[in-house]
């Protein structure tokens, strides 16, 4: 039974119970307190520590995420909601064992069946968060380390794209006055699942979103955006040289009308210098927030 101490704001949990619930050792908790300021909610005159339920849950999440391979120094500043998402993604990765086995064995039918079963039982956003993105990250890691063949990577990519394509059919048609968006990848970037994902998520949120495929030059993207009356252009890049990506981004900005924003995402854009009128969105949540903000006030540029 968890031992608690009452105070005006609510119940507090003792140190021993906080350690038991969170999985932390006393030594590790004290180290985190010294390094990162994870102080208890209350400390008695005799030195006894007490914590809120929210603090204990946060301690548990920090332990879970750090055990999963994330650096504690990068975790402590994150809100609890972000830690919860990281933990969910780690659990999702653990659940990919059978899918990865089918991929490694090039068992196309089983791989498709496993992926389709998830897509059929989960809402599209959860399928993207808990299956598509963790799977593609793991596939990329395995390919880079030589633990997955090019054929296996291509098979997994093809199956994911096929199933995501099917999810587009479930999206209701956009309203006639819906904001418009086009998504693609820059020249020589063939990995277009990121662009496909953001197009699908935008449609699910009521946008009139169009996926243009992969590897388009700046002038072609600008032409498509103008023809579609797009509010923004989304670019995704997994690989690519910094200088080439920066040049493509500058060329696109110069080709686009002033009122069309550029949203960029993916690991390759992290090191690209900022360009006025282009916003780097570091993760899926930042993209969803940008969609919501634009819908709230379409005149506001990020």
Query: Would you list the domain boundaries of the chain?
Result: 4-78, 95-168, 180-296
- CATH for 95-168 (3.30.70.2860, 2.40.50.140, 1.10.1240.10, 3.40.50.720): 1.10.1240.10
Contacts of 80 (CB under 8 A, 6+ apart): 54, 57, 58, 61
Task: Return the pLDDT at 242.
Answer: 92
Instruction: Please give the CATH number for the structural domain made up of 180-296.
Output: 3.40.50.280
Assess whether the region 95-168 and the region 180-296 belong to the same CATH fold.
no
Average pLDDT over every residue of 20-26: 93
Task: Tell me the pTM.
Answer: 0.73
Task: Return the pLDDT at 239.
Answer: 86
Task: Return the pLDDT at 8.
Answer: 46
**Structure confidence by residue, pLDDT tens digits, 160-204:** 999 999 999 888 899 999 999 999 999 999 999 999 999 999 999
Measured between alpha carbons, how far is residue 17 from residues 2, 52, 116, 206, 245 in Å? Answer: 6, 11, 42, 46, 52
Angle between the N-to-C axes of helices 150-168 and 133-144, in degrees from 0 to 180, rounded to the nearest 10: 160
- pLDDT bin (cut points 50, 70, 90) of residue 86 is confident
Average pLDDT over every residue of 194-223: 96
The fold for domain 4-78 equals Multidrug-efflux Transporter Regulator; Chain: A; Domain 2 (1.10.1660)
Contacts of 274 (CB under 8 A, 6+ apart): 280
**Structure confidence by residue, pLDDT tens digits, 261-288:** 999 999 999 999 999 899 999 999 899 9
């Amino acid at each position: 039974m968890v031992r608690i101490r009452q105070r005006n704001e609510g119940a507090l949990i003792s140190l021993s119970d906080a350690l038991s619930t969170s999985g932390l050792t006393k030594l590790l908790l004290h180290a985190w307190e010294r390094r990162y300021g994870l102080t208890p909610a209350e400390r008695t005159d005799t030195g006894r520590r007490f914590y809120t339920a929210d603090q204990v849950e946060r301690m548990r999440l920090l332990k879970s995420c750090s055990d999963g391979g994330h650096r504690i120094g990068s975790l402590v500043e994150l809100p609890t909601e972000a830690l919860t998402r990281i933990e969910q993604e780690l659990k999702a990765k653990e659940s990919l064992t059978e899918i990865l086995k089918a991929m490694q064995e090039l068992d196309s039918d089983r791989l498709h069946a496993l992926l389709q079963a998830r897509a059929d039982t989960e809402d599209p956003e959860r399928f993207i968060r808990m299956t598509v993105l963790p799977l593609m990250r793991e596939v990329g890691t395995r390919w880079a380390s030589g633990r997955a063949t090019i054929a296996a990577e291509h098979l997994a990519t093809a199956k994911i794209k096929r199933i995501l394509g099917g999810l587009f059919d479930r999206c209701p048609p956009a309203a006639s006055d819906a904001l418009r968006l086009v998504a693609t990848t820059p020249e020589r970037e063939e990995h277009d699942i990121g662009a496909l994902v953001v197009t699908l998520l935008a449609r699910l949120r009521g946008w009139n979103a169009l996926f243009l495929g992969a590897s388009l030059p700046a002038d072609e993207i600008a032409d498509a955006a103008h023809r579609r009356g797009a509010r923004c252009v989304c670019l995704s890049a997994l690989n690519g040289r910094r200088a080439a990506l920066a040049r493509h981004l500058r060329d696109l900005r110069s080709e686009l009308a002033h009122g069309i924003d550029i949203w960029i995402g993916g690991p390759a854009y992290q090191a690209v210098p900022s360009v006025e009128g282009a916003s780097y969105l570091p993760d899926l949540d930042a993209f969803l927030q940008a969609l919501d903000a634009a819908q709230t006030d379409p005149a506001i540029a990020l």
